[in-house]
Amino acid sequence: MSNLSKIFGALLYLVVIINFTGVASAQNKVVVIPLAGEDYKDPTNGLRTLLFDADSIGGSAPSSTLGLSFSNTFNGSSCCAFLVMKRPADWNGTSDITVELFTRGVTTGTDSFFVRPRDYDDGDSFSDAAGVQSDIRDFTSTLQFRQFTVSLQAASLPKDWWFLLMQRNTSGGTNTGDIDLLSVAVSYTAVQ
């Protein structure tokens, strides 16, 4: 990962001033463009999806050419990635949260992930959470792209800061090669 991509990955927002009148005036508008957390809100049902590329995700999984590389291990130097985010201000507080992991497998076989939904308020001490299992996906060819989906109950994330720990579930899977995590999407129902 280049230093430039690390810098841009760390930026949450780029603020662009657009002058609609050609001269500086009260007509100027500020447009906020999220860089490390693109979002989309469906106007028909209020479902909002936040997208995070691999450069905006932390953890012990090392960088690969496309994202973060998870080896076939539950523990160790490349077992985990995490996404830390502020609880969305427009989340309705009752809808479940869907976490989707977009990946690329290097070898064939079945695999899955799990997410530990940790959350904290200012001043809290560390506490762990039980993992929530994703669906099981089959990599039928090398370098195949797969999406893993985890549904988190609303009651598991009531606090201000969400710490979503993502780990590869190596028990029961037949894929022994690496898996690259390319992007993570977090979806929830926003207040209408």
pLDDT tens digits for range 60-102: 777 777 888 887 776 666 678 899 999 999 999 999 999 999 9
CA distances 144 to 79, 100, 108, 119, 169, Å, are 20, 16, 8, 33, 18
Please report the pLDDT score of residue 65 as a whole number.
74
pTM: 0.76
Over residues 46-56, mean pLDDT: 89
Helix residue ranges, H only, the chain: 3-10
For the chain, residues classed under CATH 2.60.120.260 are 37-189
Return the closest-CA partner of residue 57 out of 167, 183, 141.
183
Q: Does domain 37-189 have CATH number 2.60.120.260?
A: yes
Return the closest-CA partner of residue 114 out of 181, 164, 166, 75.
166
Q: Compute the distance between CA of residue 80 and CA of residue 72 in angstroms, rounded to an integer.
A: 11
Please report the pLDDT score of residue 78 as a whole number.
61
Exposure of 3 in the CB half-sphere (CA atoms within 13 A): 0
Helix (H) or strand (E) holding 132: strand 132-133
Please report the pLDDT score of residue 35 as a whole number.
42
